[in-house]
Amino acid sequence: MKINLKQELVTQWFKNLQIIICKNIEEIENNKVLFKSKNWLRNKKKNEGGGVSKLLKNGKIFDKVGVNFSEVYGKFPNELKGKIPGTKENTKFWATGVSIVMHMRNPHVPAMHFNTRYIITNHGWFGGGMDVTPCFKDNKLKKWLNKNLKTMCDRHNKKYFKNYSKWCDEYFYLPHRKEMRGIGGIFFDYKKDNWNKDFNFVKDVGLEFIKLFNEIIDKKNKIKWTKMDKETQFLKRGRYVEFNLLYDRGTKFGIQTGGNIDAILMSLPPLAKWN
């Protein structure tokens, strides 16, 4: 597929973001636990892109963290025709993205999720966001998180935070449990207002995520935890699994478009429990 400058710029940014974040995480682990990297191809017979999935497990701080980059293209399966913007006439697509899920050892450090993506069909758009899932009610963290995200969003557009935090709350919701998954964040999709501004925003979302996860780990990892806290975390991770398999668009998109299954399901926690 022909790559234009925009596609090239975004792809490079996502690739670099993956490298920067992985380095950062390894430093948090004092470089004693390192990422394992896997390259995969969407199609072994013809060139339809692929990705690099990076996984770190059993750290002192991170129980499991997956950092995935992918750049894939080709055709959507027919069942998606017309269901994704710009696919009414044909199912050609090109997509790149980076996505991260962190499951933490200390139950007082929330699970954190980040994704930014750029998708092209008949037209192109950005999507992404980040959200935070603690095991325990934490209004202080929620306030702090929202304040930071609002400041970041406001740099780009005063309406973003209100819209995207609402979208996040609506998206990360488990209707069968009548529960929110986490305490909020931002979520956006089909973003195609002004390419330069949109790309700047997407870059800023990535940099903000780096700042926030470092601060959250600093703040929360000091708190002592008990075996009971860990049990609470295992049950909360059960909800995480339920959300990702029952509702998450990224998971569905990945499975339906023949993505790499290990990369797609890297978001699942290392261990989950159900009562």
Binding interface with a copy of itself (CB under 8 A): 175-177, 234, 238, 241-242, 245-246, 255, 261-262, 264-265, 268-275
Tokens for 212, please give them.
């926030």
CB nearer to a copy of itself: give 103 or 117: 103
What is the C-alpha to C-alpha distance for residues 59 and 57, in angstroms, rounded to an integer? Answer: 6
CB nearer to a copy of itself: give 74 or 124: 74
> Minimum distance between the CB of residue 30 and a copy of itself, rounded to whole angstroms?
24
CB nearer to a copy of itself: give 29 or 242: 242
CB nearer to a copy of itself: give 3 or 246: 246
Cβ–Cβ < 8 Å for 202, 157: no
103 noted as active-site residue: no
Tokens for 258, please give them.
């023949």
> Minimum distance between the CB of residue 48 and a copy of itself, rounded to whole angstroms?
17
CB nearer to a copy of itself: give 11 or 251: 251
The angle formed by the CA atoms of residues 74, 78 and 82, to the nearest 5 degrees, is 95
> Minimum distance between the CB of residue 203 and a copy of itself, rounded to whole angstroms?
31
CA distances from 260 to 32, 66, 103, 105 (A): 28, 13, 20, 26
> Minimum distance between the CB of residue 178 and a copy of itself, rounded to whole angstroms?
9
Cβ–Cβ < 8 Å for 48, 134: no
Cβ–Cβ < 8 Å for 196, 154: no
Positive or negative, the Cα torsion across 214, 133, 69, 202? negative
Tokens for 26, please give them.
């390894």
User: Judging by DSSP bridges, how do beta strands 49-57 and 173-174 pair with one another?
Assistant: unpaired
Q: Tally Cβ neighbours within 10 Å of residue 171.
A: 18
Q: Tally Cβ neighbours within 10 Å of residue 237.
A: 23
> Minimum distance between the CB of residue 255 and a copy of itself, rounded to whole angstroms?
5
Which residue in the list 113, 123, 156, 176 is annotated as catalytic?
113
**Catalytic (active-site) positions:** 113
